[in-house]
Each structure stands twice: as C-alpha cells, then as structure tokens.
Structure 1
Amino acid sequence: MAKDQKNKTLWKWVANIGLGIICFIALFPIISLVVSSFMPSSVLMRNGITFNIDWEQLSFYNYQYIFTEAASYWSWYGNSLVISALTIVLSLFFSSMVGYALAMYEFKGRNFFFVLVLFILMVPFEILMLPLYQLMISTQLINTYLAVILPMVVAPVAVFFFRQYALGLPKALMDAARIDGSTEYGIFFKIMLPLMGPSLAAMAILQGLASWNNFLWPLLVLRSNDMFTLPIGLATLLTPYGNNYDVLIAGSVMTIIPIIILFIVFQRFFISGLTVGGVKG
C-alpha cells in the first residue's frame, strides 16, 4: 500500500514537472516579447529578440513613448476595443438565438438551414471576402465600424456550437414555462439562455480573440488612419523608410492585456456554469 502511494506521488511529480516544461515552452514567445519590449530600437535591430540581455540597456522609454506621444496607437486601441466588444455582444446574441432555434424547434427546412450553416462553415473566409466587400461598397459602409462588425455577427462556428449545446438542454423546461404562460422569447431569455452560460462564456472568449486579432478583413474595409484597428495600425509601423520595432513590440505587449482580462473574466463564469441546469427524472 505504501509502495503504491509512493509510486503515485512520484508520477504526480513527474507529471507536474512535465506540465511545467510544456507551459514554459508555450509561454516562451510571450516572455521573449515582454523582455524585448524594454530594449531600445538599436539593440533590437542589432541583436533581435534574444535572452542575451544587457540589463543596462533596459528602460521604460518604449512604454513612456506610447503613453505620452503615440496618439495614433490609442486611437487604434479604442477602435479595436469598440469593434471587439460589439462583435462579442452581437455575435453571442444572434448566434445563440439561431443555434437555439435550430436545436429546439421543429419547422420546415430546419435541416436544410443547418446543412447551409455547415456548408458556410467549411468555406474559407477568403472566398467570401470579395462578395462581402462588394456588399459593403453597395451599402456605403466602407471605413465604418459596421463594415468590420456585420460579417462577424452571425458566425457559422458559433451557430453550430450553440446548436450542439442547446440539444442537451431539457425541453421539459420549455413545456413547463409554456404552461405557466411564458412567451417563447421569455423562455429563451429567462430560462434557456442562463443554462447556456458555459457555451456563452466559451464563445465570448473565442469570438473576442478572433475579432481582436482580425487583420485581413479590417484591412480591406478601413481606409483612414483614425479608423484602423490595432493589427493594422501596428503593421503600419513597419515601412521601407524605417522600422519602429521598439514601439511595435511594446505596443504588441499592450495588446495582450484585454485578451487576458477577457479570459480571466469569462473563465470564472465558464467553470461555475458547468454545474448549471438539468432535469432529474
């Protein structure tokens, strides 16, 4: 018995050490980025991103420059925050309704619409960009927030995810709510949507990450510098006439903060929501 306990303890330590090594490997690029953000541009141009650190060269100048002189950076930051927040809210609202309807209601053409969602899910976004771009031109939405947000509002992957999750919800709750006189919208918003908390939290993280890092589509539909998002704005720092690697790297580190906050906030709801819901027979 004691030998088995000793073996379990040994394997536990081996597993923890192995996971620690994997975590370090996964975090290595971020650690390198953070350390490099304190280096001056001349050092970065000469040595690149490296752990051969000259501690005397490290300073807060890059961050000081961002907070005091880089006005465009904060304009890009605000644009990304607004676009990502609106994308998350609208995508969760509409995609959850579509997925819920496909899962919980019997209507003519339901399977056809679900197959259509799967088909769109399999089509690369690069193929859809040209017709979407023509649509934005015809509706005169170029260089607006709506041009970036609208194509992402009802994401096929989110619809599929919510539909699969809603299939596991108890329909008996719907029948009980109808008997109590609740409307279909009341059933969804007051009963079913709270039970979909884990799926909402998971998709909030995924949709927020996708919107925050989206580069190609905003690059097509945004024109003016004051409308650029962070990925586009940071890309403009690399030009044939000069490469502001110090500001670029420090700015890239700052872009990680909202994603970390988003993950921390919704992870709590995700874990607590795992125990929600269900009907015992």
Structure 2
Amino acid sequence: MSITKKSKIYSTCLFIFFVIVAIITLLPLALLAVSSLRPGSDLMRYGLNFSIDWANANLNEYKMLFSGANSYFVWYKNSLIITVVQVALALFLSACVGYGFAMYNFKGKNILFLCVLLVMMIPTEVILLPLYRLIVKMGLINNMWGIILPYLVVPMLVFFFRQYLMGIPKDFLDAARVDGCTEYGIFFKIMIPLMKPSFAAMGIYQGMQSWNNFLWPMIVTNSIDKITLPVGLQSLLSPYGNNYDILIAGSCFAIIPILALFVCFQRYFIEGMTAGGVKG
C-alpha cells in the first residue's frame, strides 16, 4: 500500500473520529434546546428526550423567563458585568506578570515562577475559607468586587502568557530601546499588539471560567439582586417546587454569550493556543 493511500485512510479515519466526538459533544446541547420548546407538563411527565410534538411546541417558558416574574435579567446583567470586568483586568494584569517572567532577569525569578506553578495545583476549595474571611474584612460581601478580586491575577494565564512571550525574539525589545522607546512603550505599543492571539485564546478561556463560576459567587452573595446567573438558575430549584421548564430555557439562553465569543474569536483562539505551546 502506497504512502499516499495510507495517508488518505488515516485522514478519513481521523475525520470520522472527530465527527463522532463533535456529535457526542453537541448532543446534550441539542437535547436541551429541543426540551426547552416542550410544554412544562410534558417535560415533567416524560423527562428530557428528543421526542417532541412540534404541533404543541411553544416558547411559553421563554416568555415566562423574560416576563419579569423572576430576576433572570438582573442575574444576566450581573454575570455580564462581572465577566467583562474580571476578564479585562485578569488579562491585563496576568499579561504584565507573564511579560516580566519572560523578558526580564531578576533575582528569585525561577523560584517565583515555581510558586506560580504550585498555586495552579492548589484546588480552589482549599483556599475558599481564607478568601472568604478576607472579603468579609474588606466589606465586600454582596458586592461585585467581592466576586472579582480573587481572580484578578490567574496563575494559568500568567503561565500561558509567559510561554507565549518566550517565543517572541528579544531583538524587538533591544531595537525599541535603541530607538528610545521606554519600557512602558515597549509593552503597550509593541508587545500587546503581538499578543492579540494569546489575548483572544485566554479571553475565551477566562470568560468561560468567569461566566460559569458558581461556588464563589454563591458564597459571597446572598441577595437576590446581587447573585450571578449560575446561582440564580440554581435558585429555581427548591424543596417546595422545581421549575425545570424555566430552568432549561434559562440554561439555553445562558449559553449564547460564550458561544458568540468563541464564534467571533475562534481563529485567534486556535492561533493563540498553538503558539503558546511552541517554547517552554
């Protein structure tokens, strides 16, 4: 068998494998979308399935969701604001730290970077109590900044930006210094434009983390108008009755921002993820 024929067979098998993986991945989302169109009584009787009577399909659950009877839009707004602010600050601050590790030599640099790697390995649940006590002392309970502050500098982002910047020749910096550019000018005018793919990749990653964050917002917020969307959706489930139909509709609508983010920046996401692993 020729090498070309073997290559075609391998490519075909790989394509089929990825199609199967894509179908398995999208199946729960399709099930959620179809179930959101079914009447609530039908949903409670038969559960989640693809069997739907399209003649009785309706958008009643979405109408109830947007009617103002609950605080869904308030939760949605809270999540949007927190996600945008947290992602913007985390990207900038983590890029600054990663830039320092990649481009400068200073005493204790390797030890500090090792500490960053060690922090990545610590489960979030381990530090929840000290974080909570710190937020209480700062008076940030039921405050947007109480949710944002613990995620301002993310070790994963610092590590990724450092790896990405290690692949950029330092000749750019030397040439800029010769031309009289300041250190701030080098970072803001030269490095940040070169880091656009990495910003897109990490923006999508951190956006998903922030948008889907449930445990920490649940701990530091207890007011119905301060909670985020994941916590709000969970509040629809109670011992006195479960609004599964509204919960499913709300979950479908909650997917839209992350989906739109990925669709808009998928090219940069792939470029940034591949470039970030070029040099260790």
TM-score if structure 1 supplies the norm length? 0.91
Cα distance in 2 between the residues matched to 1:248 and 1:200: 33
Match of 1:167 in 2: 166
Match of 2:64 in 1: 65
| 1:46 corresponding residue in structure 2 | 45
Q: Which one-letter code corresponds to 1:104 in the other structure?
A: M
The residue aligned with 2:233 is 234
What residue number does 2:214 align with? 215
Please tell me whether the aligned partners of residues 102 and 110 of structure 1 are also in contact (alpha carbons under 8 angstroms).
Answer: yes
State the partner residue of 2:178: 179
Q: Distance in 2 between matches of 1:227 and 1:116?
A: 34
The aligned length equals 275
Equivalent-residue separation in structure 1 for 2:4 and 2:102 (angstroms): 48
The CA deviation at 1:273 is 6.7
SS in 2 for 1:75: helix
Cα contact 2:213–2:230 (8 A) shared by 1: yes
Deviation digits for residues 44-94 of structure 1 (CA, Å, limit 9, x no counterpart): 111110112222331111111122234500000000000000111000000
Tell me which amino acid in the other structure corresponds to 1:55: W
1:197–1:270 CA contact under 8 A, matched in 2: no
Q: Which residue of 2 aligns with 1:94?
A: 93
Describe the shift of the 1:113–1:7 C-alpha distance in structure 2 as closer, same or farther (beyond 3 A): closer
Shift in Å, 1:8: 6.1
Range moving further from structure 2, 121-130 or 259-268: 259-268
Deviates more, 1:94-103 or 1:190-199: 190-199
Is the 2:201–2:268 Cα contact (8 Å) retained in structure 1?
Answer: no
Partners of 2:214 and 2:4 in 1: CA distance:
52
Judge which range, 225-234 or 263-272, deviates more.
263-272
Aligned to 2:224: 225
Change in 2 beyond 3 A, CA 1:112/1:17? closer
For 1:124 and 1:270, locate their aligned partners in 2 and report how far apart those are by CA, in whole Å.
26
The letter for the 2-side match of 1:149 is: I
Aligned counterpart, 1:147:
146
State how far apart, in whole Å, the 2-side matches of 1:196 and 1:109 are: 26
Give the CA deviation at 1:151.
0.5
Deviation at 1:269, TM superposition (A): 3.3
Seq. identity, %: 53
Show structure 1 runs of 5+ residues with no match. Answer: 277-281
Q: Distance in 1 between matches of 2:16 and 2:203?
A: 32
User: Structure 2 stretches of 5 or more lacking a match?
Assistant: 276-280
* Residue 132, structure 1, aligned to residue 153, structure 2: no
Give the match for residue 199 of structure 2: 200
Most deviating of 64-73 and 211-220: 64-73
Cα distance change, pair 154–31 in 1 and its aligned pair in 2 (3 A): same
Q: CA deviation at 1:15?
A: 4.3
The amino acid that maps onto 1:48 is G
What is the CA–CA distance in structure 1 between the aligned matches of 2:242 and 2:234, rounded to whole Å?
10
In structure 1, the partner of 2:119 is 120
User: Which secondary structure state, in structure 2, belongs to the residue aligned with residue 140 of structure 1?
Assistant: coil
Q: Secondary structure at the match of 1:55?
A: coil
Rounded to whole Å, the distance in 2 between the matches of 1:105 and 1:199 is: 19
Inter-partner Cα distance in structure 1 for 2:44 and 2:14: 40
The 2-side partners of 1:17 and 1:197 are apart by 33
- Conservation of the 8 A alpha-carbon contact between 2:201 and 2:270: no
Structure 2 counterpart of 1:254, which letter? F
Bigger shift: 38-47 or 132-141?
A: 38-47
Q: In structure 2, the residue corresponding to 1:123 is in which secondary structure? A: coil
Q: Decide whether the 8 Å contact of 1:204 with 1:266 is kept in 2.
A: no
Alpha-carbon distance in structure 2 between the residues aligned to 1:176 and 1:237: 59
